[in-house]
């Protein structure tokens, strides 16, 4: 129906021409006819902004399209700006300039959206232009549109995602081979799954950006990266993974966004940390560098979205889906639904989040030890679900899994345990998710 | 942004008030404020069409809303019509009347869309109104919007879905307990997973409707239920499942939609049949009555969408997501993207589809048997991947898995095998999917 009358052309500016950008340029060029039929308008690549002109690019696009003057490009005669530069500046300034000049924007920039999405969404609303960002969370996996549109008639209770491929690759390798963290990281680096400086991934910064975006979408509330509790995987040991395995659990780095009702009001929370989940949970079988987002909603129940979380082609697919959608809106002369923030729910700090702990202790092997340990839990009103003793004599260990409690009470319990004379050491403490309380 | 100015009201007519309809009425009433914020307009339940007024309904809605005159309801002062009656008539007539009167329509009616979607989509395009149908495929799982919007910039190569919960429940029970088909069906009926007359599910009619809809969306080509090859699960035996298991395979009823390129042109195909897939395939771990749709696309790679495939609440969630989307469009004075049919690709018949077979034969246990059997495959140019002999003497069996070939060549091979003197019987023939050729 759309585009059945006079064909028109939309000018597209591409900011950035790395792995993702060059793939986008390739598809825009090679699939131009098919994209025109889908969008209802010809998508004409009007310019590609790059940092320097030095590098030779063997793309099948007109070399005259390249420019180092991104600002002139986005404020010129363009209808759609695709931002795949990443980082905060100059990306933010360019997106704001593009919106102000009347262009619609598609971005894959999770760091910027998590840092300052509020400013960008406000600018898009003011300009009455689209700002789409499917590629910012979990690569090619459609999750932004399902959360904001498909589930628009439902109430999302919890989102749990494996949203960082690097850390899932490392944890999966540790699970499969029994390797330690450093060894698995090194292998991931050799295979190109981890950067030379892996900080953004292994310390959970990347996942925290995505958690902020997911929480905002799921709960119609502005959530920024500063609201997200964050713990990386650098302290996960081979023994944590072994201990989990013995109990039918698997260790994953999860981004968890939850709605939490108290008698007087509703809160939300967003956090990223390693967690043990049951082997039978759908997220447990997400292997290698794949991503998956598990959504629990009031009416729909449990949904899961699975796929590649990164890479040039998958990210380009997500970006181009947004480009077609934005183009259809421009042809129709409208903008799509803005990011909803009407709920304005308060964001809980980690201490007030309800969760469960898996705690492994080195203890003395003598009568009364369990009583002393149990007393520490009771003093913080934390209820124990299971206790298991491993080994004897100098090797005795207690492994305790709790029922749900405030994270602050759980954390205070661990402090008490550290001070107990019968406890020779706290081996590991990890949250347990995805099961009954 | 939307709805920030003068609030307005949209009148909603509900056709059907069974399990799904009453859940929709409940949520529309109980969540009215939240839905208003999301849609940008008050969604006012203007009437509920039912077949007879006799049954008492303990819904918290005004009893005066019920009417048996569906036609007057949809052609009256309504903006959005929700159709959850099911079946071909009167649903089709009512949807056409609603569109003609200027209402937008949300339907969960897979049978009608697969039978005559073309007429409905044409009517929606002519009226410039939305006709949304997320709930028609795989219940609450967002799959229509991801295929038509998120992947709009990509090329879908194959869609493989477990889209019928009843048959997945039965096959899963057979796999887990070793039960035969009749026993597992009976259990499913007792637990409410299968109807007293299970034909629509177990013979694959329901899945075939969904295959037609999925193929249309994935390949931008009109595909009707008559284009879909269909085989149910009534002939799947406990021994098929055991034999699959021994080879690391699992039996599932799959809806498979494929693009198939020949040198001169591109074709598509759609089929529903039991198939063996590797245990490591993401679809293999879909248990019980859950549904999942696995999508392979050129740029995005492998995606999977998982969740409950039926039930009142999940279906209501999908319907209401569409209702909010349709309402937003009415507030903005536009209609969303129409179902794309520009590709107009030819639909292949099953004989021309490329697939693999798993064949189990009772054979004589003497020299020359394998040569005779291999000769039958060679005569049809079908290449054998593995052969395995089970048992000896009167109990000898050959299990053969082929490489990819035309379904017609595979089928002709089986006919030759049946006629071979050394073959005492063909125990089972099943297609193998989801692995390397």
Contact A175, A227 (CB under 8 A): no
Nearest to B304 by CA among A308, A218, A315, A168: A308
- Which of chain A's residues have a Cβ under 8 Å away from the Cβ of B151? 142, 317, 321
**Cβ <8 Å between B332 and A334:** yes
Give the nearest partner residue to A314 out of B134, B282, B301, using CB atoms. B301
Residues whose CB is less than 8 angstroms from the CB of residue B372 and which lie 6 or more positions away in sequence, other chains included: B420, B422
Start and end residues for every CATH 3.30.70.260 domain found in chain A = 352-432
Q: Give ranges for CATH 3.40.50.720 in chain B.
A: 9-138+312-332
User: Of the candidates A146, A307, A337, which has its C-beta nearest B142's C-beta?
Assistant: A146
Percent of chain B past pLDDT 90, that is, above it, reads 83
Give Cα separations from A346 to A231, A268, A341, A343 (angstroms).
22, 6, 12, 9
Interface probe with B: pick from A150, A159, A221, most Cβ of B within 10 Å: A150
Which of B142, B149, B282 is closest, CB to CB, to A321? B149
CA distance B254 to B162: 5
Tokens of A112: 């910027």
Write the CA distances from B186 to B113, B173, B254, integer angstroms.
Answer: 30, 11, 22
Catalytic residue annotation of A: 210
Candidate CATH numbers 3.90.1150.10, 1.25.60.10, 3.40.50.720, 3.40.50.300; the one for domain A9-138+312-332: 3.40.50.720
In the structure encoding, which two tokens stand for residue A100, read together? Answer: 């102000």
Ranges in chain A annotated CATH 3.30.360.10: 144-309
pLDDT at position B1:
39
- Asked whether the beta carbons of residue B37 and residue A342 sit closer than 8 angstroms, the reply is yes
- Is the CATH number of domain B144-309 3.30.360.10? yes
Taking contacts as CB-CB distances below 8 angstroms, the residues of chain A near B297 are 317
For residue A155, give the chain B residue with the closest CA.
B317
CA atoms within 13 A on the CB side of B432: 31
Give the chain A residue nearest B340 (alpha carbons). Answer: A38
Cβ–Cβ gap A320/B299 under 8 Å: yes
How far is A322 from chain B, CA to nearest CA, in Å? 7
Task: Return residue ranges of chain B for CATH 3.30.70.260.
Answer: 350-432
CATH architecture of B350-432: 2-Layer Sandwich (3.30)
Q: Contacts of residue A305 in chain B, CB cutoff 8 Å? A: 303-306
pLDDT given for residue A341 in this prediction: 83
Contact A303 B306 (CB under 8 A): yes
DSSP state of A339: P
User: Which residues from chain A sit within 8 angstroms of residue B321, using beta carbons?
Assistant: 149-154
B1:A125 CB<8 A: yes
Show pLDDT as tens, one digit a residue, over chain A (437 residues): 344 444 599 999 999 999 999 999 999 999 999 999 999 999 999 999 999 886 656 677 888 999 999 999 999 999 999 999 999 999 999 999 999 999 999 999 999 999 999 999 999 999 999 999 999 999 889 999 999 989 989 999 999 999 999 999 999 999 999 999 999 999 999 999 999 999 999 999 999 999 999 999 999 999 999 999 999 999 999 999 999 998 899 999 999 999 998 788 899 999 999 999 999 899 999 999 999 999 999 999 999 999 998 889 999 999 999 999 999 999 988 888 878 888 889 999 999 999 999 999 999 988 889 999 999 999 999 999 999 888 887 788 999 999 999 999 999 999 999 999 999 999 999 999 997 54
Q: Do B314 and A300 touch (CB under 8 A)?
A: yes
Query: Which is catalytic among the residues B110, B210, B252, B385?
Result: B210
pLDDT of residue A4: 46
Distance between CA B363 and CA B398 in Å, rounded? 7
Q: Where are the beta strands (DSSP E) in B87-179?
A: 104-107, 131-132, 156-162
- Which residue of chain B is at minimal alpha-carbon distance from A140? B300
Q: A307 vs B303: CB contact, 8 Å cut-off?
A: yes
Are A277 and A401 in contact by the 8 Å Cβ rule? The answer is no
Taking only the tens place, the pLDDT of each residue in B55-93 is 656 677 888 999 999 999 999 999 999 999 999 999 999
Q: Is A309 in a helix, a strand, or coil? A: coil
**Contacting residues of B for A328, CB less than 8 Å apart:** 337
CA–CA separation, B98 and B124 (whole Å): 10
Whole-complex ipTM: 0.89
The domain A352-432 having CATH identifier 1.10.630.10: the answer here is: no
Token pair of A297 as six digits: 């909603």
- pTM of this prediction? 0.92
By CA distance, what is B335's nearest residue in A?
A332
pLDDT of residue B60: 75
Is residue A207 within 8 Å of A162, Cβ to Cβ?
no
Most A CBs within 10 Å, among B43, B136, B153, to test the A interface: B153
DSSP letter string, A263-304: SS-EEEEEEEEEEEEETTSGGGG--TTEEEEEEEETTTEEEE
Q: Give residue B2's pLDDT.
A: 42
**CB–CB of B432/B358 below 8 Å?**
yes
Query: Tokens in use for B115?
Result: 């039978």
- The reply to whether B110 belongs to the active site is no
Q: Which residues of chain B lie closer than 8 angstroms to A155, CB-CB?
A: 31, 34
Closest residue in A to B318 (Cα) is A150
Contacts of B342 in chain A (CB under 8 A): 37-38
DSSP string over B358-375: EEEEEE--STTHHHHHHH
Q: Which of A80, A106, A137, A300 to mutate to test the interface with B (most CBs of B within 10 A)?
A: A300
The pLDDT score that the predictor gives to residue A139 is 87
Instruction: Say if CB B422 and CB B373 are below 8 A apart.
Output: yes
Instruction: Decide: A295 and A159 in contact? Cβ < 8 Å.
Output: yes
Other Cβ atoms within 10 Å of B279 Cβ, number:
13
Residues of chain B below pLDDT 50: 1-6, 437
Residues of A in contact with B303 (CB under 8 A): 140-142, 305-307
Q: What are phi and psi of B359, to 5 degrees?
A: -125, 130
* Cβ contact, residue pair B324, A149, below 8 Å: yes
Cα dihedral value A315, A320, A322, A328, nearest 10 = 180
- In this prediction, residue A118 carries a pLDDT of 92
Question: Residue A44's pLDDT is what?
Answer: 96
Which has the closest alpha carbon to B106: B168, B24, B166, B22? Answer: B24
Q: How many inter-chain contacts (A to B, CB under 8 Å) are there? A: 193
Comparing CB atoms, the residue among B153, B220, B306 nearest residue A317 is: B153
């Amino acid at each position: 129906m759309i585009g059945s009358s006079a064909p028109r052309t939309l000018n597209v500016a591409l900011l950035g021409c790395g792995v993702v950008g060059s793939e986008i340029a390739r598809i825009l060029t090679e699939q131009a006819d098919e994209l025109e039929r889908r969008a209802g308008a010809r998508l004409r690549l009007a310019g590609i902004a790059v940092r320097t002109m030095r590098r030779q690019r063997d793309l099948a696009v007109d070399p005259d399209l390249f420019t180092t003057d991104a600002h002139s490009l986005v404020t010129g005669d363009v209808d759609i700006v695709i931002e795949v530069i990443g980082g905060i500046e100059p990306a933010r300034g360019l997106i704001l300039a593009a919106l102000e000049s009347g262009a619609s924007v598609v971005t894959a920039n999770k760091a910027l959206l998590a840092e300052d999405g509020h400013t960008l969404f406000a600018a898009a609303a003011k300009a009455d232009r689209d700002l789409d960002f499917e590629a910012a969370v979990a690569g090619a996996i459609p999750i932004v549109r399902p959360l904001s549109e498909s589930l628009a008639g439902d109430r999302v209770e919890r989102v749990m995602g494996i949203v960082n491929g690097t850390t899932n690759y490392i944890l999966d390798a540790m699970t499969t081979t029994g390797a330690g963290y450093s060894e698995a990281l090194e292998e991931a680096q050799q295979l190109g799954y981890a950067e030379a400086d892996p900080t953004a991934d292994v310390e959970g910064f990347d996942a925290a950006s995505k958690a902020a975006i997911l929480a905002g979408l799921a709960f119609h509330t502005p959530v920024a990266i500063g609201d997200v509790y964050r713990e990386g995987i650098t302290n996960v040991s081979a023994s944590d993974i072994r201990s989990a395995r013995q109990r039918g659990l698997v260790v994953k780095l999860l981004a968890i966004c939850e709605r939490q009702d108290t008698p007087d009001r509703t809160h939300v929370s967003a956090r990223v940390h390693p967690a043990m989940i049951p082997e039978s949970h759908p997220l447990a079988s997400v292997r290698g560098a794949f991503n998956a987002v598990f959504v629990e909603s009031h009416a729909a129940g449990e949904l899961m979205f699975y796929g590649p979380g990164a890479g040039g082609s998958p990210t380009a697919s997500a970006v181009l889906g947004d480009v077609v959608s934005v183009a259809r809106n421009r042809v129709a002369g409208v903008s799509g639904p803005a990011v909803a923030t009407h709920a304005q729910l308060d964001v809980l700090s980690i201490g007030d989040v309800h969760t469960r702990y898996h705690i492994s202790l080195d203890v003395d092997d003598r009568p009364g030890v369990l009583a002393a340990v149990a007393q520490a839990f009771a003093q913080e009103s934390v209820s124990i679900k299971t206790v298991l003793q491993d080994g004897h004599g100098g090797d005795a260990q207690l492994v305790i899994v709790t029922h749900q409690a405030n994270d602050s009470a759980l954390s205070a319990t661990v402090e008490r345990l550290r001070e107990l004379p019968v406890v020779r050491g706290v081996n590991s403490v990890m949250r347990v998710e995805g099961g009954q309380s």
